[in-house]
């Protein structure tokens, strides 16, 4: 039968309409994209191959480049138009492919549109050409285009600088003049003139190296497969690499700063399993000879990892295992991150959305199969339960008029950057899980295999996927295991019956019911009492993932009570009575043989009970912190940050100063950033202001400074946002161009004062229309939180009184 669910019914869920929104054509750019797609490029030419050579000057933060683009002109035109951003193009020539005299070109740059126009004296006739340019560009200090990250050498403490690239969404144009849209796929040759002692990394293996004068070498990489420009990658630095081959002969590797190879073993082992797994699942072999995870120090306010084909980039704080610091939750996150980015090598790289409207085809699918693969290889982690939390994040954003369909209209660079959100990732994953259940796992996989086979090395739109799944055939529509993307409002009698049988339900249904009913009560659809009865029915000794969610919800209720000490003491006593015995059973220290969910539960119980002032936890935190005076490594281990966060939240000025001294003394990139982040978590307003002031000095690492301001905003939005507005220009230098509106808006998310909201509205008014969405979203979230909190607190207090 014809599949209605993933066809018209799914279209309504994904687009917010009853029929498909027009999608960009998946054919080559020789044919124009759909009329509603706004592109600054005229559809008169398309590339087939790039040959790019660069020579970076890391000290001066500049680079020189030469680019040769083989392209086809489809219709006579007076000029060729490519994307270029922050490039100085010195010269350009156009040569017919069959030979003939070069055509002189006049260069005109349009900085506001990020375009380079190459005009000829006479019309350029249809045919094949080679466009050669010489140019120079900037090495940025934030993660846009080619950028630099500074760090201290692990062994010597000497300063080091690594170079990396980040091109998604539209920043390949900062590296060379390009047709920088996903539908313009081409092959790439990349070469670089670099210091002889450093390692250069790109999408493909090194084809050859040539020694040059002046302690330099020229590194030339093998030709890439046909791919979109945003997937190109280049890295350079004092690196080391560990690697091993899969059974099919693909070499997987992890590239790290020198001295950290042992920390990359978990990621390497994960990749070694995942490449064969995805090869089998999609019935498509991995098409490159190698796949590297390239790690860099620092952090970004926009992204954590990027799926460059054959050379994934990931910040080391979410890829490397530091035994002195890495928590069990972070280890799980490393696995999930590697799974997500490795999945992109097929879903996103081999087959790419034709336009950013269909970004969910990349991110929603990578999120969905990341969870599937993590659960496959690590069944005791119960990764499928995490989908409930992801769904909650998406539904939270979906509750506002500022939400958007999964398939969204993208028209500008800024709109593209804002598309990377919970709707694209988590709602996309939730919808896919629901459709997989509808079609059946085998039928769904066969549809995906057909889609991959038909569209590989090309582009696709959502309609293409639906057709492939429909062709595979599907039957049913069921909603077991919390797979439906909706909430269920039960009559109070039914809710009470579910509460009585709560312990007998499957963990995923317990988790879903708890989260659903809390959301419904907070929104005013039902009284708080029945929901709180259900939350109180979560046994302290039950499933660790459900218990983690429950203690987290008690923590939110506690925090929402503000200055009501009596009610907060009641909630804290209830939480300690219910979950204190579980923590005592688990113990304060990791135990051999325990499962990862148990280890995560211990960490969450320590954190939540400590935040609520549990006497035993607070005493242990101060005892452990005191031990650092004699031995700075006394707290090393997976719970180090957990214990220190309790101390930092309740710190006195001397304790805060001690944390600052530990931050200064730390040599590890991640550890140093962690310490400075802890300084930003103090509840004391004076210490929070001290952290804000410190963030604008050279004391903290550059990439940690914006995170410090964000850390303060988590508890002191009325302090952090005005500070940010007063220092807007300085702080903007610390944040990626692609995420500035989102970053500043988030600083006000915890605000309570009307004057802060007024300042946020004024900030919104200062922005272009295509940058306002994240600010409008934050305004809506804050207003709803403030409107709901009084009702939640009243219901909670009445419930507590009744107990």
Residue 697 CB neighbours (<10 A): 8
Report CA-CA distances (Å) from 743 to 300, 434, 558, 582, 729.
11, 32, 27, 38, 13
pLDDT tens-digit map of 66-96: 999 999 999 999 999 999 999 999 999 999 9
0.75 exceeded by pTM: yes
The answer to whether residue 289 scores a pLDDT higher than 70 is yes
Confidence class for position 483, pLDDT limits 50, 70, 90: low
Token couple for 302: 């926009």
User: How does the average pLDDT of the chain come out, rounded?
Assistant: 90
Q: Name the one residue in this structure whose structure tokens are 């690492």.
A: 701
Distance between CA atoms of residues 794 and 799, nearest Å:
9
* 483 neighbors 385 (Cβ within 8 angstroms): no
Rounded mean pLDDT, 300-305? 87
Q: Is the dihedral of CA 535, 540, 541, 544 positive or negative?
A: positive
Closest to 543 (Cα-Cα) out of 508, 499, 493: 508
Radius of gyration of the chain (CA): 27
The answer to whether residue 16 scores a pLDDT higher than 50 is no
What pLDDT sits at residue 477? 83
What pLDDT sits at residue 315? 96
> What are the start-end ranges of the E strands in 177-276?
187-195, 199-202, 206-212, 216-221, 234-237, 239-245, 251-257
Confidence class for position 481, pLDDT limits 50, 70, 90: low
The answer to whether residue 717 scores a pLDDT higher than 80 is yes
The answer to whether residue 23 scores a pLDDT higher than 80 is no
The answer to whether residue 115 scores a pLDDT higher than 60 is yes
589 in catalytic set: no
The answer to whether residue 302 scores a pLDDT higher than 50 is yes
What pLDDT sits at residue 21? 27
Distance between CA atoms of residues 76 and 81, nearest Å:
13
Confidence class for position 430, pLDDT limits 50, 70, 90: confident
Rounded mean pLDDT, 3-23? 33
Q: Kindly tell me the burial class for residue 293, based on how many C-beta atoms sit within 10 Å of its own C-beta (0-12, 13-18, 19 or more).
A: buried
Length of the chain: 803
Could you say which of 181, 341, 392, 671 is catalytic?
341
* 273 neighbors 377 (Cβ within 8 angstroms): yes
**String of b and e for 383-417 (b: at least 16 CB within 10 Å)?**
bbbbbbbbbbbbbebbeeebbbbbbbbbebbbbbb
User: 3-state class of 525 per DSSP?
Assistant: coil
What pLDDT sits at residue 14? 45
Distance between CA atoms of residues 321 and 327, nearest Å:
9
**String of b and e for 129-165 (b: at least 16 CB within 10 Å)?**
bbbbbebbbbbbbbbbbbbbbbbbebeeeeebbbbbb
Contacts by 373-379, CB closer than 8 A, 24 or more apart: 373/274, 373/277, 373/278, 373/339, 373/343, 374/332, 374/335, 374/336, 374/339, 376/277, 377/270, 377/273, 377/274, 377/277, 377/335, 378/332, 378/335, 378/596
Confidence class for position 429, pLDDT limits 50, 70, 90: confident
**String of b and e for 180-193 (b: at least 16 CB within 10 Å)?**
bbbbbbbbbbbbbb
Distance between CA atoms of residues 252 and 574, nearest Å:
50
pLDDT tens-digit map of 583-615: 999 999 999 999 999 999 999 999 999 999 999
The answer to whether residue 205 scores a pLDDT higher than 60 is yes
What pLDDT sits at residue 301? 81
Question: Which of 380-389, 577-586, 731-740: highest mean pLDDT?
Answer: 577-586
The answer to whether residue 35 scores a pLDDT higher than 60 is no
What pLDDT sits at residue 38? 58
pLDDT tens-digit map of 147-203: 999 998 888 889 999 999 999 988 999 999 999 999 999 999 999 999 999 999 999
């Amino acid at each position: 039968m014809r599949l209605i669910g993933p066809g018209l019914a799914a279209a309504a869920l994904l687009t917010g309409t009853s029929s498909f929104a027009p999608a960009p054509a998946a054919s080559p750019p020789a044919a124009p994209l759909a009329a509603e797609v706004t592109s600054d490029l005229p559809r008169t030419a398309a590339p087939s191959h790039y040959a790019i050579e660069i020579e970076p000057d890391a000290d001066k933060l500049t680079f020189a480049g030469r680019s040769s683009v083989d392209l086809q002109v489809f219709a006579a035109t007076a000029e060729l138009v490519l994307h270029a951003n922050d490039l100085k193009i010195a010269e350009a020539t156009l040569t017919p492919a069959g030979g003939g005299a070069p055509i002189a070109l006049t260069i005109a740059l349009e900085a506001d549109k990020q375009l380079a126009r190459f005009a000829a004296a006479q019309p350029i006739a249809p045919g094949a050409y080679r466009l050669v340019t010489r140019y120079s560009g900037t090495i940025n200090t934030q993660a846009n285009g080619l950028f630099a990250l500074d760090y201290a050498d692990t062994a010597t403490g000497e300063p080091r600088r690594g170079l990396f690239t980040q091109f998604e969404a539209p920043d390949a144009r900062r590296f060379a003049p390009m047709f920088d849209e996903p539908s313009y796929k081409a092959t790439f040759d990349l070469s670089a003139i670099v210091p002889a002692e450093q390692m250069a990394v790109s999408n493909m293996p090194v084809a050859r190296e040539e020694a040059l004068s002046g302690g330099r070498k020229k590194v030339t990489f093998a030709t890439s497969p046909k791919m979109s420009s945003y997937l190109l990658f280049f890295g350079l630095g004092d690196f080391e690499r560990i690697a091993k081959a899969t059974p099919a002969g693909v070499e997987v590797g992890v590239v790290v700063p020198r001295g950290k190879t042992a920390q990359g073993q978990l990621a390497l082992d994960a990749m070694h399993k995942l490449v064969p797994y995805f090869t089998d699942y999609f019935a498509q072999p991995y098409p490159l000879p190698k796949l590297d995870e390239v790690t860099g120090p620092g952090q970004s306010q926009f992204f954590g990892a990027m799926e460059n084909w054959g050379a994934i980039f990931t910040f080391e704080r979410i890829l490397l295992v530091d035994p002195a610091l890495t928590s069990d939750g972070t280890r799980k996150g490393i696995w999930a991150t590697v799974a997500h980015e490795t999945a992109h090598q097929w879903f996103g790289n081999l087959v790419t959305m034709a336009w950013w409207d269909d970004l969910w085809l990349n991110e929603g699918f990578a999120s969905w199969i990341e969870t599937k693969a993590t659960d496959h290889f690590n069944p005791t982690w119960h990764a499928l339960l995490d989908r409930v939390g992801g769904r909650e994040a998406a539904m939270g954003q979906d509750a506002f008029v500022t939400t958007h369909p999964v398939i969204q209209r993208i028209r500008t660079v800024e709109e593209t950057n804002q598309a990377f959100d919970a709707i694209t990732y988590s709602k996309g994953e939730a919808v896919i899980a629901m459709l997989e259940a509808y079609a059946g796992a085998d039928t769904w996989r066969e549809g995906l295999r057909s889609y991959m086979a038909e569209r590989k090395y090309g582009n696709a739109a959502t309609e293409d996927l639906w057709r492939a799944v429909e062709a595979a055939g599907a039957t049913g529509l069921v909603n077991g295991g919390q797979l439906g993307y909706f909430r269920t409002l039960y009559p109070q009698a039914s809710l009470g019956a579910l509460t009585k049988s709560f312990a007998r339900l499957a963990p995923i249904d317990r988790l879903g019911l708890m989260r659903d009913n809390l959301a419904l009560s907070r929104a005013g659809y039902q009284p708080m009492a029945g929901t709180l009865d259900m939350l109180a029915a979560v046994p302290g000794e039950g499933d660790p993932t459900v218990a983690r969610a429950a203690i987290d919800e008690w923590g939110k209720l506690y925090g929402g009570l503000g200055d009501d000490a009596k009610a907060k003491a009641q909630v804290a006593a209830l939480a300690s009575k219910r979950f204190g015995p579980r923590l005592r059973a688990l113990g304060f220290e990791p135990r051999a043989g325990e499962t990862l969910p148990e280890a995560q539960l211990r960490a969450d119980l320590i954190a939540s009970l400590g935040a609520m002032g549990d006497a035993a936890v607070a005493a242990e935190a101060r005892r452990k912190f005191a031990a650092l005076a004699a031995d700075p490594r006394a707290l090393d281990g997976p719970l180090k940050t957990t214990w220190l966060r309790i101390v930092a939240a309740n710190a006195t000025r001397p304790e805060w100063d001690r944390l600052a001294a530990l931050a200064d003394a730390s040599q590890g990139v991640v550890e140093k950033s962690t310490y400075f982040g802890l300084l930003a978590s103090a509840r004391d307003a004076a210490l929070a202001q001290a952290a804000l002031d410190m963030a604008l000095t050279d004391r903290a690492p550059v990439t940690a400074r914006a995170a410090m301001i964000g850390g303060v905003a988590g508890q002191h939005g009325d302090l952090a946002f005005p500070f940010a507005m007063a220092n807007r220009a300085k702080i903007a230098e610390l944040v990626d161009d692609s995420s500035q509106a989102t970053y500043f808006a988030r600083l006000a998310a915890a605000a309570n004062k009307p004057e802060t909201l007024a300042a946020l509205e004024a900030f919104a008014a200062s922005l272009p229309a295509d940058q306002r969405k994240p600010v409008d979203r934050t305004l809506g979230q804050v207003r709803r939180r403030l409107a709901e909190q009084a009702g939640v607190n009243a219901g909670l207090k009445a419930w507590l009184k009744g107990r």
